[in-house]
Structure 1
Amino acid sequence: MTVLLLAGLLAACQQEPPPAASPPQAQNSYGATERAFVELAIATDEQALKLLEHAGRPELTANRNTELAELRKLLDAPYVNQHAGHDMPGMPTDAEIQLAATSPDALDQFVRTHLTESLEVVRSARTAITHPPTAEVVALMERHRTAELAGS
């Protein structure tokens, strides 16, 4: 019996211990959700600036530049545009930007689409973001989009 017990103990000692559970993201910390939102918002605002240069609404350009400055302050690592070439809600595509440059009707449509769709994204982020500085930028973006839509 002693031999069996000893063999069992030796076998157990040779097994690797289970991996330590990673601690849950602390409430109010900058985590994966915040980083994903910041990266998406930067990519969207950068594309929007290309569209808005044709819109003749300098307040929209100023707002995007303000947002970009605040968003970049939140990054915890170098920014890499993971969304280049994507067709995402609120993010003007290169084809839309090219068409908007030659068609006032398309420009108006794409600006309005950017504003309404990016407002939806921001409102969704508001419910998911717990990091206070990121939440402040989300609130800023929501105020911008709401005022911009009211002025269009």
Structure 2
Amino acid sequence: MRKPTAFTLLIAVLLVAGCADGPQDAASTATPPVTAPPVTAAPTPTGTAFNPTDIAWLQLTVAMTERLLPVLDLVPARTTDPAWRRTATQVAGTRRADLDRARRLLADAAAPTTNPHEGHDMPGMATAQEMTALRAASGQPFHRLLVGHLRAHLAQSVRIATAEQQNGVQPATVALAEAVVRSGTADLERLDHLDPAEPSIAGSAPPTTRGG
């Protein structure tokens, strides 16, 4: 097992960074430095220890995924475009499976069940105001908002999962990070083939007028 180094602990800080009281730009993946709360490594039932990076990454992955799923749940009601519906279903299925794995690993680590990121708007998370805008849009305006949130979430997920790959030590957690990098990269490439400025032949619901 690799020994925790100063760099490993720094990555643990970066993984829980980005908490802010105000809303974040959906396309932003920058993470401002903050001080992370101390995380105590705990043994799994098999005796393989989690280091602070493992715990911090799992907690942030859970928080980010819990914020993404309500965005994807809006898709069936906000667009009739089959490509967007298909993409949302694929991404949601993968993210729900990742969420289940992350929660199980946190339970194995005997980590706190409370969400340390509750109420915080971090890179890759849709804010309350952005959710309101998504609910008010449909068709192409909805697609444009959706693609921005998906890109922000996926890019940030790949970024922090890569840090976990490099600095985590718990095998199952590192394996989950590797899966997140693979699926996130594939999903980003899938988005590249969806041009929100060009309606599909199937058509989308006509745009609605958003207030504010």
Q: Is residue 2:52 matched to residue 1:32?
A: yes
Q: Is residue 2:104 matched to residue 1:80?
A: no
User: What residue is the counterpart of 2:92 in the other structure?
Assistant: 61
User: What residue is the counterpart of 1:19 in the other structure?
Assistant: none
Shift of 1:32: 2.1
Contact 2:65/2:95 (CA < 8 Å) preserved in 1? yes
User: What residue is the counterpart of 2:159 in the other structure?
Assistant: 120
Contact 1:100/1:110 (CA < 8 Å) preserved in 2? no
Counterparts of 1:122 and 1:92 in 2: how far apart (Å)? 19
User: What residue is the counterpart of 2:70 in the other structure?
Assistant: 50
Q: Is residue 2:117 matched to residue 1:93?
A: no
Counterparts of 1:54 and 1:25 in 2: how far apart (Å)? 38
User: What residue is the counterpart of 1:109 in the other structure?
Assistant: 148
Counterparts of 1:39 and 1:87 in 2: how far apart (Å)? 14
The secondary structure found in structure 2 opposite 1:89 is coil
The secondary structure found in structure 2 opposite 1:142 is helix
The secondary structure found in structure 2 opposite 1:151 is helix
- Structure 2 unaligned regions, length at least 5: 1-40, 76-84, 192-212
Contact 1:89/1:114 (CA < 8 Å) preserved in 2? yes
Q: Larger C-alpha radius of gyration, 1 or 2?
A: 1
Shift of 1:25: 9.3
The secondary structure found in structure 1 opposite 2:136 is coil
Q: Is residue 2:181 matched to residue 1:145?
A: no
User: What residue is the counterpart of 1:130 in the other structure?
Assistant: 169
For the aligned residue pairs, the C-alpha RMSD in angstroms reads: 2.1
- Structure 1 unaligned regions, length at least 5: 1-23
Identical counterparts, % of pairs: 28
Counterparts of 1:108 and 1:147 in 2: how far apart (Å)? 15
Contact 1:115/1:145 (CA < 8 Å) preserved in 2? yes
Shift of 1:41: 0.5
Shift of 1:29: 2.3
Q: Output the amino acid matched with 2:123.
A: P
* Residue-pair matches, total: 128
Contact 2:57/2:160 (CA < 8 Å) preserved in 1? no
Counterparts of 1:31 and 1:136 in 2: how far apart (Å)? 15
